Amino acid sequence: MSKAAIVIPCYNETRRFDADQFRKLASGPHATLFFVNDGSTDDTESTLRRFIASFPLATAPALLSLPANRGKGEAVRLGLQAACQKGFSLVGYYDADLATPPEELLRLIELAAAGPQSVIMGSRVKLLGSNIQRTFVRHVTGRFFATAASWVLKMPVYDTQCGAKLFHCSPTLEAALKEPFSSRWCFDVELIGRLLFPLESGIAGLSQKEFLEIPLKTWRGIAGSHLNPGSMLAAALDLIKIGIALNRRRTHRHAYSNE
């Protein structure tokens, strides 16, 4: 199985950067790590450079440093672009806080490499036998958001916001990554929408059957990783804007296909 390029957006991660866990990922046969330092104001840059320097040159993770904070969505977009341009056939992104354990990410990589789907998404479903650690408030607000996102996308997606996703590189993905996301908080939904209904009329969109959600066995909410009320309001407004833009593209595609 060829390696997957995993983009890890980082903003002020010095205190909680778990070098041992990331070393397990980077030293294994399945993942090449692409760290993106999103204009951090602490020692994240030097922390990442020291970590990368500890590897042999041939197996060292990559680092993309942004001069100013652009937001998680832009860090992910630029990282995925760079990974696709380097020739990786399978790319993805993963949260620096390790809320999704490394072994779960590796499980997703194996499923993505073996299956026919174009997009594999981790999903935080609290089931018997799973260990999904999420506060009650976060669970409830997350379900409200997920229901709205599902309505906007018009697809039965359970969890758009889990920070563990994988994509097979394709012209559709490359087209989806060409322009910055309009939303700082809902870029995951915006990316899925672009894959379904690309911005460029000459690019084929993905069908819903090319997406697969995988319930995670383990996930834990990390302190300091949550949205505040202001951010949640901004996310709701962004979701409305994404829905309007997506409906325009959906209508245009249907009108074009009926000509």
Q: What is the pLDDT of residues 154-187, one digit of tens each?
A: 999 999 999 999 999 999 999 999 999 999 889 9
Total domains in the chain come to 1
Q: Residue 201: its pLDDT value, please?
A: 82
The domain that holds 40 is classified in CATH as: 3.90.550.10
Span 198-226, average pLDDT: 89
Parent domain of 48? 4-257
Residue 170 token pair = 């394709």
Query: Is the separation of the CB atoms in 153 and 249 below 8 Å?
Result: no
Query: Is the separation of the CB atoms in 218 and 101 below 8 Å?
Result: yes
Grade residue 226 by pLDDT with cuts at 50, 70 and 90: low
Percentage of the residues of the chain whose pLDDT score is greater than 70: 95
- DSSP symbols for 167-236: EE--HHHHHHTSS--S-SS-HHHHHHHHHHS-SSTTSPPPPGGGEEEEE-SEEE--TT-SPPHHHHHHHH
Grade residue 101 by pLDDT with cuts at 50, 70 and 90: very high
Q: What is the pLDDT of residues 75-96, one digit of tens each?
A: 999 999 999 999 999 999 999 9
